[in-house]
Amino acid sequence: MAGRIVAADIAAVRERVSIVEVIGGQVTLRPAGGGNLKGLCPFHEEKSPSFNVTPQRGVFYCFGCGKGGDAISFLMETDHLTFSESVERLAGMVGITLRYEESGDGGPRRREDTGSRRTLVAAHADAAAFYAEQLGSPGARTAREFLAQRGFDRDAALRFGCGFAPTRGTRWASTCAPRGTRRRT
């Protein structure tokens, strides 16, 4: 069984990953002088950029909210990943095969934790898609009117993840079962 990621592999990921590439996928970065970049912080609302990236050191820092770190901590914060999941994702981006060691508590760490989290995230994505689709059904007319009264058109409803839950919950159960999501009772 796999355990913790080998420290040398974590260091290799930190060294090879481009923080500009990681952050630039979510934040529009502009030159800030001295080789640094700046943009609007993804962690709080702001109108003028206080989020700085220093590519030479592989770090970011927001002078507005005080959050800072490296590419690993950025993914942990923005994508709600664990440390290991962030390292695994970045390793995949830069083509590093990670090695694992046994955990320090005397036994191997269970890797199923990551798999079950992925299953749960996938189930949530499936549920969101299902309920968004149901918003277009004839039975969701009242829900669509409710959203329209509040200024939500179809695009806004999709962007904010609005959906509709039918009165009978059996449709979701029959939809998720073929996708491998088990229903708990």
Residues 65 and 44 sit within 8 Å (Cβ to Cβ): yes
Helix (H), strand (E) at residue 4: strand 4-5
Could you tell me the CATH number of the domain that includes residue 62?
3.90.580.10
Between helix 112-134 and helix 83-94 the angle, nearest 10°, is 90
- Calculate mean pLDDT across residues 114-140: 80
Domain extent, residue 16, equals 4-101
Determine the pLDDT at residue 154.
87
Most confident among 69-78, 105-114, 127-136, 164-173 (mean pLDDT): 69-78
Whether residue 184 is contained in a domain is answered as: no
Entry pTM = 0.60
Q: Are residues 53 and 124 in the same domain?
A: no
Q: State the average pLDDT for the chain.
A: 85
CA-to-CA dists, residue 123 to 112, 120, 127, 129, angstroms: 16, 5, 6, 10
Q: Are residues 20 and 90 in the same domain?
A: yes
Last residue of a domain, one of 34, 67, 101: 101
Residue 16: both structure tokens together: 């090879």
Count of the separate structural domains present in the chain: 2
Determine the pLDDT at residue 12.
96
